[in-house]
Amino acid sequence: MKRRDFIKQASIAGLATTSVAAPAIVHADKKIKWKMVTTWPKNFPVLGTGANQLAKLITDMTNGRIKVKVYGGGELVPAFEVFDAVSRGTAQMGHGAAYYWKGKIKEAQFFSTVPFGLNSQEMTAWLYHGGGMQLWEETYAPFGVIPAAAGNTTVQMAGWFNKEINSVNDLKGLKMRIPGLGGEVLKRAGGTPVNLPGGELFTSLKTGAIDATEWVGPYNDLAFGLHKAAKYYYYPGWHEPGTTLEALINKKSFDALAEDLQTIVLNACKVVNQDMSTEYTAKNNAALDILVNKHKVDLRRLPDDVLEKLKTLSDEVVRELAGKNKAAERIYASYDKFRKQVTAWHEISEKIYYNVR
């Protein structure tokens, strides 16, 4: 009798265990909805569509377990408040560029671009194989944000100007939209840097609110119609030789994910990081051909003495940023060490190959 009672009680306990365990399985399959806020105009070529691609990759690769909805700059939050929105948890993800947050984190600018610094290939190599990623994560950790490289513009153009630049003196008094460290360099050259989101560039240039603007390169510049607002198109993009665009991830939201979902999110960022740079490489020259041959844009190279002066000022600005605090000092030491190493290699590889082919 006791044996039968024991078996009966064990069976009941087993059923109870099964009934308790069931909700955990349902919870594991629960659909997660994320918002992604960006600094770019909605669906803007490469930048906006790159954010869309990232959202779609995460949604598709998780088989819908995470569904990401994208909001363009100004739709949910203003373009330059993306970092704060992700930090607060208003949105679980963001897409932008680290130099937009220089007012909050000065040293963050190293993780976007440095004038006369690393190009796109070198920047990605520093982040993932030179210690840059760890430093970037440490920089954003106090804000509850996880960064990931999620795009690169490659070498940009110097920008659109409504006045000729024939000497360093022509930079004095120039009111130009130019973010990050490049803006500080222009300021020291006598110009006035202005920070504007992409959606405001055409009108500001057309109305004379600014004298010049840089944006990205021919493919994006043509899409914005900047050739209708300025006459001169200068190169090279000394200020942004390979700008890394970033995905921002709210740490609490990320930590709440299962391990496989975390892996998918981070690897989706890597896919977009590579795909964006290759898209620019594929499409920039065709767009430049249209600008020059169809729209008769006056394409010009910045004079050597102007570039030399900007290089000198850039070195000063970067060294001063490195001295702001210990964190900036550590980041710059890592960046500078990697730059010297990769430059030495590229002197006998990439650079010489470009010259001989």
pTM: 0.88
Pair 96, 218: CB distance under 8 Å: no
pLDDT at 199: 87
Q: With a cut of 70, say whether residue 24 has pLDDT above it.
A: no
Confidence grade of residue 28 (pLDDT, cut at 50, 70, 90): low
At 6, phi and psi to the nearest 5?
Answer: -65, -45
Q: With a cut of 80, say whether residue 81 has pLDDT above it.
A: yes
- Mean pLDDT of all residues in 102-124: 97
All domains of the chain in start order, with CATH: 32-154+242-281 (3.40.190.170), 159-238+285-324 (3.40.190.10)
pLDDT at 339: 98
pLDDT at 111: 98
Q: What is the pLDDT of residues 136-184, one digit of tens each?
A: 999 999 999 999 999 999 999 999 999 999 999 999 999 999 999 999 9
DSSP 8-state class, residue 74: T
Residue bearing the bigger pLDDT, 20 or 247: 247
pLDDT at 7: 42
Q: Is residue 113 classed as helix, strand or coil in its secondary structure?
A: coil
Q: If we measure between CA atoms, which residue out of 323, 349, 322, 326 comes closest to residue 336? A: 322
pLDDT at 21: 41
Q: With a cut of 80, say whether residue 11 has pLDDT above it.
A: no
287 contacts: CB under 8 Å, gap ≥ 6: 217, 218, 219, 221, 222
Other C-beta atoms within 10 Å of 60: how many?
Answer: 11
Pair 115, 185: CB distance under 8 Å: yes
Distances (CA, A) of 78 to 37, 40, 297: 9, 10, 32
Q: What is the pLDDT of residues 123-140, one digit of tens each?
A: 999 999 999 999 999 999
- Mean pLDDT of all residues in 325-335: 97
pLDDT at 13: 42
Beta-bridge partner residues of 212: 161, 176
Q: With a cut of 70, say whether residue 22 has pLDDT above it.
A: no
Q: Which amino acid belongs to residue 12?
A: I
Report residue 58 as tokens: 């995460």
pLDDT at 165: 98
Q: What is the pLDDT of residues 41-71, one digit of tens each?
A: 989 999 999 999 999 999 999 999 999 999 9
- Mean pLDDT of all residues in 14-28: 40
Average pLDDT, the chain: 92
- Mean pLDDT of all residues in 215-225: 96
pLDDT at 1: 43
Q: With a cut of 50, say whether residue 285 has pLDDT above it.
A: yes
- Mean pLDDT of all residues in 212-227: 97
pLDDT at 20: 39
Residues 87 and 84: their CA atoms lie apart, in Å, by 5
Put residue 73 in one of left, alpha, beta given phi > 0 → left and psi -120 to 50 → alpha: beta
Residues 27 and 30: their CA atoms lie apart, in Å, by 5
